Homo-oligomer: A and B are copies of this chain.
């Protein structure tokens, strides 16, 4: 991991809420209080259960956020990408990270100390309010997923996992799911609480039904509408 000082003024990532809501004159100070880090693929950013000391902003890359379950059955909370906040789940009453974060690709991540970040929130109310709105959206997303996981059968869950990937990574011109090649069957399974076995089987069914095409890791969505129909009720 390579650490260096960089300036928010020159950062090209417009999704970052710091850049969006801090006034220009504040950004100079902000830059003084952060470090930018470069991670190799499959490096741990922070670990579930550890004390929360920092908050992270993912400038570029893909990071897997996940919770430990029993017997190496982890639960993937989300895949974060450019502009996303990491570690904010740790601002809870326990003071411990409730999830782990691990890079999937090479990544650039800025970090602030928790102390400085809270000082910043107090000085820039719009930042606090908009971070609050980020939480609200994530809470909605998780509660919808919770409802769905309670209701869906295996086939529906796999359809849901594909739509989650499409939503997060998008499709390229040919209809292929971006970044799908970096995901194992296990990864897909852990998004929706299944085993890699079950995912493989249902993906095979979907291929049979011409909803998708599979070239090992690369998945092409042929009929998104039908996939959406499977998860709607």
Name A residues whose Cβ lies closer than 8 Å to a Cβ of B: 67, 69-71, 73, 75, 77, 88-94, 98-99, 118, 121-123, 125-126, 128-129, 131-133, 135-140, 142-147, 149-151, 192-193, 233
Contact = CB atoms under 8 A, between A and B. Distances in A.
Copies in the complex: 2
A151 B123 CA distance: 42
Given A67-B143, A98-B144, A136 B92 contact: yes
A132 B150 CA distance: 27
| Interface residues of A, dominant DSSP | helix
A140 B138 CA distance: 11
Contact of A147 (B75, B129, B132, B133): B75
23 contacts: A69-B147, A69-B150, A70-B233, A71-B233, A73-B151, A75-B150, A89-B136, A89-B143, A90-B136, A92-B133, A92-B140, A94-B140, A121-B125, A121-B128, A132-B132, A132-B135, A135-B135, A135-B136, A142-B142, A142-B143, A146-B146, A149-B193, A150-B192
Contacts of A131: 132
B233 A98 contact: no
Given A91-B136, A137-B93, A150 B149 contact: yes
B91 A147 contact: no
